[in-house]
Amino acid sequence: MMASVACIGECMVELRQAQGGHSTGSSAAQGQGGGLYSRGFGGDTLNTAVYLARLEVKVDYLTALGDDALSDEMVAAWTTEGVGTRRVVRLPGKLPGLYMIQLDAKGERQFFHWRDSAAARQLMNLPETDELLNSLMSYDIVYLSAITLSIYDAPGRERLFAAIKRARLLGTRFVFDTNFRARGWPGRDVAREVFATAFAAADIVLTSIEDLLALYPGESHEQLIARIPAPELVFRLAEPVSLLRFPGGTNEVRAEPMTKPVVDTTAAGDSFAAAYIAARLAGSEPVEAAQAGHRLASLVICYPGAIIPGYAMPPKKRHRPAASRQATK
């Protein structure tokens, strides 16, 4: 039976400032002062789901959307990419969230969000929620990020963690990506408490020095790593290097030198996560999986936007057969 992944999160409508005043993407809107914006879609766990599908992993995206035309476009686009949409809940009268990207005088990106009433925020508090959470037991891996956790209220997060705990008893593995964005949390104390719960529940944690130092400023690599009890840890440094800890050992994995210029670092971590998960599901050891993660991330940052053209994906690689699921003791 083909290994499967449930990615939980939110996809939003993206308005991106068009360079040079020209519109790009699916459509464009003219703002005050003549600025043009291209419209697309974006979401960290959705990016990972797309890359998982491209790596021939069976993946479903679990979220809530409205019954509007933009939500229809999202579902159609995900289906085209091979991402399963059977777990997408459609809410009458609701809309997806919206964010806008602007560039400042130095070319740095600034983000503005409108998501307080977005459909995805209600996913843990719906008539369909129990059925959705019970379905997690049918997957080999449940993957979500800190951004996912930030959009739910405290009772919603408790329901989600309880469902993950039940699924793990039947052999489902929980992969937590620390993708931390301070603006999504009411305060760092709340975020630290939720992170601690996720770290304790996770089988695999994918994190970075950037994420953890934002939560625990001034701590050393050793102190940050010691905060995470998960048996399998990938700790990405500022340079393209990952420190790995897994049952039986530790290792350092360096990305191969770049041969092309970096164009856009969007979705570097999301694509790394997809390649790592795909390799682990296919039977690769953590070191080989991290190498695959670095290879895909190094490719993705050579193209604009989160999702690179299909023709640019790396060639398929044969892996050893994946081990069968075993219940967590």
Residue 218: C-alpha distances to residues 4, 197, 210, 222 (Å): 38, 22, 12, 12
Q: Token pair 């949409």 is at which residue?
A: 85
What is the pairing mode between strands 204-208 and 232-236? Answer: parallel
What is the pairing mode between strands 12-17 and 36-42? Answer: antiparallel
270 is known as an active-site residue:
yes
Contact between 299 and 262 under an 8 Å Cβ cutoff? The reply is no
Q: Give strand pairing partners of 61.
A: 7
Q: Which long-range contacts (CB under 8 A, 24 or more apart) does 99-103 make?
A: 99/12, 99/13, 99/14, 99/15, 99/42, 100/14, 100/15, 100/16, 100/17, 100/37, 101/14, 101/15, 101/16, 101/17, 102/17, 103/17
C-alpha 88/C-alpha 85 separation (Å) is: 5
Q: How many CA atoms lie within 13 A of 150 on its CB side?
A: 23
C-alpha 93/C-alpha 73 separation (Å) is: 16
DSSP state of 3: -
Residues composing the chain: 329
Catalytic residue numbers, as ranges: 270
